[in-house]
Amino acid sequence: TLTIGVLALQGAFEAHAKALEALGVTAKLIRNPAELKDLDGLIIPGGESTTFLKFLERDGFLDVLQSFVEATPTFGTCAGAILLANHVENPTQKSLAVLDITVERNAYGRQIDSAILTAPTKLEGDPLEMVFIRAPRITHTGPGVETLAERDGFPVLVRQGHLLAATFHPELSADTRVHQLFLDLVQEHTKA
């Protein structure tokens, strides 16, 4: 069975671990750089990207994570997507810069900063419930990036090679299709 790490420094990691276990894989909470060894994939959860960066700047965690995400399937949700993005705006912020997208943080304004939408996506089956919490907006995608779901014409679920990113929180919905999509990507990568 696959072992998927969930970065557990801060934020919404428990619900991701539950979603993964419901799909029959081993979920491992990752709290230090040494624990990134021997994983088939990693989820960087939602939370506060600035706080993640603060934690990651200790013990050389950021450098180890950088090498990891360059080579191993990684799924970033919300703050995790911000960390993967090539460019971060509002304000400009350091990132792992492995995914060819530009994100604008907290892009939906204070009044409507959180929302639950259900919309058709490129995933098979019913429209997908998407929970947005102080979400970023993907304002640009490079040519290698495939958009799998949108909100108001902007991408909210994207894939580029071994990387997947969502600006919403799939771990807060009962629907497991987005986690399954990531596991399929991990499986493909493991076989290749």
Please list the active-site residues.
78, 169, 171
Is 170 a binder of ligand GLN (CB under 6 A)? no
Shortest approach of ligand GLN to residue 133 CB, angstroms?
4
Piece of the chain touching ligand GLN by CB under 6 A; list 1-9, 13-21, 47-55, 172-180:
47-55
DSSP secondary structure letters along 35-104: GGTT-SEEEE-SS-HHHHHHHHTSTTHHHHHHHHHHHS-EEEETHHHHHHEEEEETTT------EEEEEE
Burial 66-102 (b: 16+ CB within 10 A, else e): eebbeebbbbbbbbbbbbbbbbbbeeebebbebbbbb
- Taking CB under 6 A as the criterion, which residues in 16-35 touch ligand GLN? none
Count of residues that interact with ligand GLN, criterion CB under 6 A = 12
Is 87 a binder of ligand GLN (CB under 6 A)? no
Whether the CB-CB separation of 2 and 21 falls below 8 Å is answered with no
Interface residue with ligand GLN among 5, 33, 41, 46 (CB under 6 A) is 46
Q: Is 48 annotated as a binding residue?
A: yes
Interface residue with ligand GLN among 79, 149, 158, 163 (CB under 6 A) is 79
Burial classification of residue 49, based on how many CB atoms lie within 10 Å of its CB (0-12 exposed, 13-18 middle, 19 or more buried): buried
Is 9 a binder of ligand GLN (CB under 6 A)? no
Rounded to 5 degrees, φ, ψ at 86 are -65, -40
Interface residue with ligand GLN among 18, 31, 134, 189 (CB under 6 A) is 134
- Which residue ranges make up the annotated binding site for L-glutamine? 47-49, 105, 133-134
- The footprint of ligand GLN (CB under 6 A) covers 46-49, 78-79, 82, 105-106, 133-134, 136
